[in-house]
Amino acid sequence: MIKGTHLFSGCVRFGVWVIMATVRTVKRKKGVVYRAEVRIKSHPRLSQTFDRLSDAQRWAEDTEAILRSGGDISNATPDDMAFSKALDRYELEVSSQKRPNTRAREITSANRLRESFKGLSLKDITPARVAVFRDNRLQRVGPSTLQKDLALLSHLYTIARTEWALGISNPVTSVRKPMRPAGRLRLLSKDEARNLLEICKKSRNEKLYHYVQLLLHTGMRPSEGAGLVWGQVDIDARIIDLTVTKTKPRRVPLTIMVVEILIDIMPEQCSNNMRIFLPETISVTVQRRPNLFFRRAFNNAVKKAKIDDFHMHDLRHTAASYLLMAGVDLRTLAEILGHSTMQMVQRYTHLLDDHKLKAIDKIAGLGL
């Protein structure tokens, strides 16, 4: 093997082709980058450059998968491009560099788009066709899901125009978008929380109680909590280090109760890579969305507790609301939750109305 070269997949025979994938380390003035190459016998070499080795390896893996399934990826840009090939290229160059959850969601949207615009080129997709897709999709999914589909379609055209030098217009920009529904805000009362936790203790899923307590005491997203490994936890500092999140990395403070819960389930011998809540062997689906491991047990517990209209993500809303009512300022709350904008935490401020009324009543007798 050549020094500085990472042989990623080796030689793979597919029909009459021989596919060779490698990742090379390239030194530049501003640092090291990684160039992934996929060589196909009697075909032009395919390549992309990445800042991280893992991204380069993933691109090489995805490229091989597309080629084996009969897809076609080319570095050359034609005057027009088949929609399916454009999606293939977008997934390799754009989606592959996004966070795992975002990438998984875009794969789902891409599959719906691929099915709806099968056999068309990018130029064939007009605003009228996008409007038909919108109306048909709304019969099966909600506005939020459709918004994600249209966002992916729109960005595909932006990339095709700005980076692939295709002379095409974006058909999504002139199409009406559905209004997003108002964000739901369902909270647990203290009695509901107490009842739910008592039932979680009796669940067949032995770690459900610990998992629900973690979410209630930290406001973490369900998948963030379920996917934790012991190396992310600093018991002495009472901190969980979230390096891969939906938005930016953050450090989550822990209550004394959560520290005690983690110590209670910590094995005598544990490595940094050992999962806290999940078993060693999990499906690809659970790898992408770790909270699915708890969904059935959690839903059963909610049903037994006779709590209406309450979902796992509402544990995060509950934690945020009680933090705010306890006097935590909005900026600190946004940092704890990992919200990228203050607008995201403004939704909780109406909960302070009762607290403000009780506060103002304390001076009701002033001047009398």
Kindly report, residue by residue over 142-176, the tens digit of the pLDDT: 888 899 999 999 999 998 888 887 888 899 999 99
Are 194 and 153 within one domain? no
Rounded to 10 degrees, what is the CA torsion of 210, 211, 217, 219? 180
* Residues 20 and 36 occupy one common structural domain: yes
Both 235 and 136 in one domain: the answer is: no
* Residue 153 burial (C-beta neighbours within 10 Å; 0-12, 13-18, 19+): buried
Question: Where is the domain boundary, 50, 72, 94?
Answer: 72
What integer pLDDT is reported at residue 345 of this predicted model? 73
Report yes or no on whether pTM surpasses 0.85: no
Say whether both 129 and 260 belong to one domain. no
* CATH code where residue 198 lies: 1.10.443.10
- Is 290 in contact with 221 (CB distance < 8 Å)? no
165 in the same domain as 83:
yes
Question: Are 144 and 176 part of one and the same domain?
Answer: yes
Q: Is residue 364 part of a domain?
A: no
Q: Are residues 134 and 96 in the same domain?
A: yes
Banded model confidence at residue 332, pLDDT cuts 50, 70, 90 = confident
Residues 282 and 203 both lie in one domain: yes
Q: Which of 21, 55, 72 is the last residue of a domain?
A: 72
Residue 197 domain-assigned?
yes
Structural domain boundaries enclosing 2: 1-72
Do residues 1 and 120 both lie within one domain? no
pLDDT of residue 31: 72
Which domain-ending residue is among 138, 159, 181? 181
Q: What is the DSSP letter of 178?
A: P
Number of domains within the chain: 3
Q: Which of 275, 254, 252, 251 is nearest to 265 (CA)?
A: 275
